[in-house]
Structure 1
């Protein structure tokens, strides 16, 4: 059988050798053993059931969650000379009947169906009339309520399998399964744990990076200008954000399309097709787009907003580099993303247990955005890898910034959590450390705690970010639902005792933006004028480093301005308007000059 599989691999698919895990999964299926295959996106999961389908005597039934995925797979198989079809809601009743009749007569080797089809009265009876010897469950994590994309209709699969006159071999495949989800898949589909084939989740061709503390819109625009001819996907959290980004990119002259559930089915299909055929270079989408998309040359996936959990992020980021070419996976993190995702969880119809699980997953996603360790290793540990070594090529591994000793600051934060008896969340701990005269702080008499105000020289935003960092690095943990409380971990104990030091790197500089010398000189003049009015040295207003960063980042809003090193709330209120007006005037002049040159 191994030689026959190799022959089909070459004959129909054009490959000389199997990828890791493929041969083992195929061998188990051909030996009649139910199998769960866990392979990274782009690892060739489809071949694991397509080759056994061609070697089997009967029909292979493929459960697939997306219409677009089915059509793509069937088109590719048909183009390779393999008889395949799909049955889904895009077909008329008459078309479905013709295809089902053909399947009963054995005209197809593979028949793709949507899981919802199993809920239709009489459909199971139709399947029983087929000679099904293999059932392949694609995106198998959808069967688990603990998975990131649970589909209740997937629960019908086990019932379907049991109703066949002769039980077919079952294979389940996924790219994103935590140990808990893996156990769930095996239990629900009756797959023995020792029949699991996991090749690992590492994608060595992907460059992971988290960008925070700078204008995401400007980063995105500059990145796309540098990669104008490369196809890529931009994910946003809401339909409104997708529409806004899409319109902005089109005005900038990018060949951009959009995709979200608020659009008509025809519009979504058209944009997806234009993207697949390279008529569009960039697609802005919600997470409604992408699962199962087979476009192999996506060179970058940028998350404009933080996703809810690691599974969703890794699957969406995994759309990049399916052809093995080097590709970028960049997450633009902003603190408000956390509030948005918590809102989504709060508004969902999940029960309390599932909501609690989603909050836990969200905290791990937040940890990813703040960790300074290897990003790929962080992901692999999430999926259960015991020994995840540094990849050596992510944004954190390649980071050359120096580390500063923040042990004393860490002790203050950890001590405050302990003094508050681990009963309060991040917001309240931040206020106590900053010495805020907040009504709740005073009503709870927290101003009497010994750690009250011990970090009053730092803005609350900065204290909150430090708490996030200590949480990401495992010194603190957040427990609870929508309003989690901070708890100390075992790792915090030696820090409090002064036995272990804590180090932190400076802000990430994801892109080396060009400093506008003319603007820098203009900002220096404004700084000097303000300094003269206040009778202070210019560097008291802002350092040269702050002005250089303004010249590079071009902040336009209060939030953007606060992201500049050396800018706190007070300096924002005192000087922000003057500097941002100068920056806006510079950008307007630059645009008019460029337009004049074009004329």
Structure 2
């Protein structure tokens, strides 16, 4: 048994080095590969960019038969297959974009075991025709990618995923590996239950992405703040901007374009052809900013996304973590930036309350939103807060906004009492704007009409600006001391939790309002600045030349530039300055097929440059 185990590990390492061009497995990859090769089921939680794909690709190459990958990402299957073809792996997909003849050709290859990996959408896999095809296909394994889609409580729920338990029932001897980048304990339990993975080994990697800097700013003028952020820190970089509504996506893309940024919209209301074209441009061109709803992003494998920005509050920490994890997949520094304000809290709570879901679902979604609000309002390290949500302990990172510029907390009991008392005295019938006008002593027509200028709380908060009171009110809503009645013009209501605060029996700590700092323009942060070990001037010039070569090569191959080589590999080549194919062979990311395809060109290019 020991010799067989050793043989499997040796074979896996050989494939990793010769096919994919990496010297060694990272983190738990080696253990996962070995477990699946030996026929074991697995649940793998690994952050975006952590190398999940290798955990099923290598076992599929070692085991007899075809690796079946269940993926919800029809729009990205072509790029996934192209990337495997570049390293010499026989891969294909079955989806609705193909002709009938092409599908027949791939089905024949599957039945004959003449292909290594096939990507199939869950909707297609569940058809009788596909299940019959699988029954006559030699199968190496089933990989269920984006497994969190099985969770009915989650942000990416796909009903078809629930039916995937049929794989265990029909093919009990075939190993299954379920993979996802985000899942709290509740979601993990649901994945295990619905996919019948009770006996699967669980591999939970660290959720930490230390290369991502988290920053949440007070929303004043969100689009202008976004523009300042991009111009100051990410001019010319690829990035993603998330908005809640389709209209806001369109308007934000147009606003950025008007200000000289190459921005494209993406949302479910667009024509499929337009969506596909914009996604292809984002993946294949440099420096594109995609403004999108959450319909965009799952499975995006572009390694050089330097920032992810949110102009609206995400519904949960899982959603936020999943979306921000699309930045910095290459391991270089990246930013996760969000503008957040009172209206975000009101809007998200209204969406939950007005949904047609049952009360249990609303309660779960409310708890997830509360956790997200806790992250926004925390006085402590954001990274510690995120990792704690996923059950992982950590130390303050020293790299998020609350570590770099610690917020000041104060005893907010008196300020809270002023707000709560005013809400009570206006009979809990008015929205935030009116309540704040009363506190600040603003003589509006409406205030006079209702004689609220005669109230004892009129003007008791004239020492603070409207923005300060809005920030304080937002915190009280987040803490559950104030609720919003959406059926009655968004009027503010007191909750049971507010009583002990009003009576002075409970004291509360709040964040002191801080006016958003003006974005400071930095020197262009290029890939060189982001790398841990900077290149010298000659190596930087070689790197830039290699990037130009990669763009031209990708165009000739009609594929994305990163599928040819990642920036990290090009940097290593620039640093190594290989004079022969043997010199190039040891560079991370250069496998046997890529060495054969591009080795001679690269060696000649380096020699030309140095001479």
TM range (shorter): 0.7 to 0.9
RMSD: 4.0
Answering whether residue 76 of structure 2 is matched by residue 76 of structure 1, we say no
Relative to structure 1, the CA distance from residue 39 to residue 424 in structure 2 (aligned partners, 3 Å threshold; closer, same or farther) is: farther
Q: How does 1:425-436 map to 2 (within 5 A)?
A: 434=439
Answering whether residue 188 of structure 2 is matched by residue 182 of structure 1, we say yes
What is residue 547 of structure 2 aligned with on the other side?
A: none
Q: Aligned with 2:403: secondary structure? A: coil
- Distance (whole Å) between structure 2 residues aligned to residue 228 and residue 325 of structure 1: 16
What is residue 267 of structure 2 aligned with on the other side?
A: 260
- Distance (whole Å) between structure 1 residues aligned to residue 509 and residue 126 of structure 2: 58
Answering whether residue 421 of structure 2 is matched by residue 396 of structure 1, we say no
Q: Pick from 347, 357, 365 the counterpart of residue 364 of structure 2.
A: 357
What is residue 103 of structure 1 aligned with on the other side?
A: 110
Preserved CA contact (<8 Å) 2:327 2:336: yes
What's the offset of the Cα at 1:476?
Answer: 5.5
Preserved CA contact (<8 Å) 2:345 2:474: no
Preserved CA contact (<8 Å) 2:113 2:138: yes
User: Which is further off, 362-371 or 78-87?
Assistant: 362-371
Preserved CA contact (<8 Å) 1:403 1:506: no
Answering whether residue 514 of structure 2 is matched by residue 506 of structure 1, we say yes
What is residue 276 of structure 1 aligned with on the other side?
A: 283
What's the offset of the Cα at 1:30?
Answer: 2.2
Answering whether residue 303 of structure 2 is matched by residue 296 of structure 1, we say yes
What is residue 469 of structure 1 aligned with on the other side?
A: 475
Q: How many residues align?
A: 508
The one of the two structures with greater contact order (alpha-carbon pairs below 8 A, sep at least 6) is 2
Preserved CA contact (<8 Å) 2:306 2:335: yes
Relative to structure 1, the CA distance from residue 426 to residue 368 in structure 2 (aligned partners, 3 Å threshold; closer, same or farther) is: farther
- Distance (whole Å) between structure 2 residues aligned to residue 269 and residue 215 of structure 1: 31
User: Which is further off, 400-409 or 176-185?
Assistant: 400-409
What's the offset of the Cα at 1:143?
Answer: 0.7
What is residue 51 of structure 1 aligned with on the other side?
A: 58
What residue ranges of structure 1 are gaps of 5+ in the alignment?
515-599
Q: Pick from 9, 12, 30 the counterpart of residue 5 of structure 1.
A: 12
The Cα offsets for residues 273-293 of structure 1, whole Å up to 9 and x where unpaired, read as: 212122552122221111101
Preserved CA contact (<8 Å) 2:141 2:176: yes
User: Which is further off, 426-435 or 279-288?
Assistant: 426-435
- Distance (whole Å) between structure 2 residues aligned to residue 477 and residue 170 of structure 1: 47
Q: How does 1:46-445 map to 2 (within 5 A)?
A: 46-164=53-171, 166-192=172-198, 195-226=201-232, 227-345=234-352, 348-385=355-392, 387-400=393-406, 402-410=408-416, 434=439
Q: Aligned with 2:402: secondary structure? A: coil
What's the offset of the Cα at 1:201?
Answer: 1.3
The Cα offsets for residues 55-101 of structure 1, whole Å up to 9 and x where unpaired, read as: 11111111101112322211111111011111111112222122112
- Distance (whole Å) between structure 2 residues aligned to residue 402 and residue 114 of structure 1: 49
TM (norm. structure 2) is 0.73
- Distance (whole Å) between structure 1 residues aligned to residue 108 and residue 357 of structure 2: 40
- Distance (whole Å) between structure 2 residues aligned to residue 299 and residue 71 of structure 1: 24
Q: Aligned with 1:397: secondary structure? A: helix
Preserved CA contact (<8 Å) 1:140 1:173: yes
What is residue 25 of structure 1 aligned with on the other side?
A: 32
What's the offset of the Cα at 1:506?
Answer: 3.0
Relative to structure 1, the CA distance from residue 453 to residue 361 in structure 2 (aligned partners, 3 Å threshold; closer, same or farther) is: farther
What's the offset of the Cα at 1:137?
Answer: 0.6
Q: Aligned with 2:309: secondary structure? A: strand
